[in-house]
């Protein structure tokens, strides 16, 4: 029986959406990666995916150049290959003949570099924008909420204004539809309260766009890009030359917890990481702490 690869791709994406509960953003990424593979290799049927097909495709990825002539990063190449492996596993589950997913090995990548800002830069960022107009109050509330909770930007955008600010915690739906509890600091709660007190619209979104005078805006919920623009603008205003994104504040949140004695498993739960391996990008913090412990407590008798 012959299978149309495009139809199988469509069914795979539907499987991710319905059975796996993957987000729309994840679905769009997998669609883009698989479409790239099919276009590059001209594969029409699953049995045409072979070791040689994948080898040529990997060469294509490795030799691809970006707009500035740069190579595609190994980590980015792996995203394409992970999507293909998951697709092949799906075909195997349906007993459709094709290449085994185990035949595709991912490229080795060096340790992930964390974009971090210093404690002093963080304080400047969070304390900036002291004005009491609606935009300043909103931006301050966004920054305080990001640092207090470690939320992903998509999770932040999905929040609604019906928060119970008498409590310190709220539930959010993260990647894969997983629910977790995050916590609001007193500073974050106070910033949100001041912002909401000045809101005059009835939109359910917690963080909303601010319509200009006489401007009609149907959708007020602040977008992913909108939050990124807020953070970037506030960083520039605070005199921070580094690129600052919402994810940098997520890194700062995790680093702050670990530097103050939190264990890696707790940070994993607060960040919503499915695997402890993802959280281990922060081991540079715990490594530093261990060095300090070693210096403070090891071989004290011999040092006398």
CATH number, domain with residue 217: 1.10.443.10
Nearest to 242 by CA among 250, 251, 232: 232
pTM of the predicted protein model: 0.67
User: What's the count of helices (H) and strands (E) in the chain, helices before strands?
Assistant: 14, 2
Task: Assess if residue 265 is contained within a domain.
Answer: yes
Q: Catalytic residue among 85, 138, 152, 234, which? A: 152
Tokens of 178: 């997983």
175 is catalytic: yes
Residue 96 shares a structural domain with residue 131: no
For residue 142, pLDDT over 80 is answered with: yes
Task: Work out how many domains the chain is built from and give that number.
Answer: 2
Residue 11 shares a structural domain with residue 97: yes
Residue with tokens 């890696």: 264
Q: State mean pLDDT over 41-54.
A: 95
153 in Cβ contact with 186 (< 8 Å): no
282 is catalytic: yes
The chain-wide mean pLDDT, for the chain, equals 87
Task: Assess if residue 89 is contained within a domain.
Answer: yes
113 is catalytic: no
pLDDT at 128: 75
103 is catalytic: no
Going by C-beta distance under 8 Å and a sequence separation of 6 or more, which residues neighbour residue 135? 210
- Cα–Cα distances (Å) from 249 to 151, 153, 197, in that order, read 9, 10, 25
Q: Catalytic residue among 57, 80, 90, 282, which? A: 282
Q: Other CB atoms closer than 10 Å to residue 179's CB: what's the count? A: 9
23 in Cβ contact with 157 (< 8 Å): no
pLDDT-based confidence at residue 153 (cuts at 50, 70, 90): very high
234 in Cβ contact with 139 (< 8 Å): yes
């Amino acid at each position: 029986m012959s299978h149309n690869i495009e139809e199988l791709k469509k069914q795979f994406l539907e499987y991710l959406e319905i059975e796996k509960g993957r987000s729309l953003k994840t679905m769009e990424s997998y669609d883009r990666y698989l479409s790239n593979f099919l276009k590059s290799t001209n594969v029409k049927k699953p049995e045409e995916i072979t070791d040689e097909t994948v080898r040529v495709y990997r060469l294509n990825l490795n030799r691809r150049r970006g707009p500035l002539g740069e190579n595609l990063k190994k980590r980015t190449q792996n995203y394409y290959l992970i999507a293909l492996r998951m697709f092949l596993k799906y075909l195997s589950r349906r007993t459709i003949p094709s290449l085994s997913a185990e035949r595709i090995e991912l490229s080795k990548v060096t340790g992930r570099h964390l974009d971090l800002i210093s404690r002093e830069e963080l304080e400047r960022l969070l304390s900036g924008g002291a004005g009491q107009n609606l935009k300043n109050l909103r931006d301050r509330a966004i920054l305080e909420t990001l640092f207090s909770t470690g939320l992903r930007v998509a999770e932040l955008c999905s929040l609604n204004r019906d928060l119970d600010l008498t409590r310190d915690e709220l539930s959010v739906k993260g990647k894969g539809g997983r629910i977790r509890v995050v916590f609001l600091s007193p500073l974050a709660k106070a910033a949100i309260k001041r912002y909401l007190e000045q809101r005059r619209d009835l939109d359910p979104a917690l963080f909303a766009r601010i319509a200009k005078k006489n401007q009609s805006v149907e959708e007020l919920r602040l977008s992913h890009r909108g939050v990124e623009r807020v953070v970037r603008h506030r960083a520039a205003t605070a005199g921070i030359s580094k690129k600052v994104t919402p994810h940098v504040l997520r890194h700062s949140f995790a680093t702050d917890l670990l530097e103050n004695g939190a264990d890696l498993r707790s940070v994993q739960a607060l960040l919503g990481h499915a695997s402890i391996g993802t959280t281990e990008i922060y081991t540079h913090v715990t490594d530093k702490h261990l060095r300090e412990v070693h210096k403070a407590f090891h071989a004290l008798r011999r040092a006398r």
